[in-house]
Amino acid sequence: MTATAVQRFYRYHAYVYDFTRWTILRGRGQAVEQLKLRPDAQVLEVGCGTGLNFSQLLARLDPRRGWLTGLDFSEDMLARARRRVAAHGWSNVSLVCADAARMDLGRRFDGILFAYSLTMIPDWLAALERARTHLEPGGRMVVLDFGRFERWGPLGALARGWLRLNHVETRRPYVETMGSLFDRVEVHGRLGGYWFTAVGSNT
């Protein structure tokens, strides 16, 4: 699977994303909570899509001091995020079109969120490493994504297969890699491996 295949996928899915994904993408509130954002925090969401997490992230920030940057490599998804930002009149948000595996924003963040994006990034290891270099010392990085459905028996294989058809790869060592990139990693698995959060931080 190439990066362009994912971009092509979202050219069409961008139209229905907000109406369909609430059924399957769980745990947004918990992931945002785990960032433990201060009102003046500088936050980056990698693979922000249409901005479905923005209202929860921005609710924790002081609009005069906190700042949210949303990064995605799909112009189609970002166009919807841009519309969302304009509709809400949010003035402390910037959107960047870039590949997470190569991003270089020239600044650091107090909190970085990957919400259902890491499993779709072919060069996910580079994306995690790039993100870590953008984290302030003492900052927190939260990955929310599909798990391996390990307690789902035969249905687990079906779920993983269906996700793979939709460019989502669940079987890579995401959590283990977080462990090698950070001093501390806190992992919460939910619903028998449906989804997980992994929170990385350095001392």
Ligand X SMILES: C[S@@+](CC[C@H](N)C(=O)[O-])C[C@H]1O[C@@H](n2cnc3c(N)ncnc32)[C@H](O)[C@@H]1O
Q: Which residues bind ligand X (CB under 6 A)?
A: 3, 6, 10, 21, 25, 47-49, 52-53, 72-74, 77, 99-101, 115-117, 120-121
Q: Distance between CA atoms of 141 and 135, rounded to whole angstroms?
A: 8
Which residue number, 15 or 184, has a Cβ lying nearer to ligand X?
Answer: 15
- CB of 76 closer than 8 Å to CB of 11: yes
- The nearer residue to ligand X, 10 or 67, going by C-beta atoms, is 10
Query: Cβ closer to ligand X: 42 or 117?
Result: 117
CB of 154 to ligand X, least distance (A): 25
Instruction: Report in angstroms how near the CB of residue 138 gets to ligand X at its nearest.
Output: 24
Exposed, middle or buried by CB within 10 Å (0-12, 13-18, 19+), for 104? exposed
- Burial grade of 162 (CB within 10 A; 0-12, 13-18, 19 or more): exposed
**Total residues found in the chain within this entry:** 203
- For residue 148, the minimal CB distance to ligand X (Å) is 17
Nearest position to ligand X, beta carbon: 49
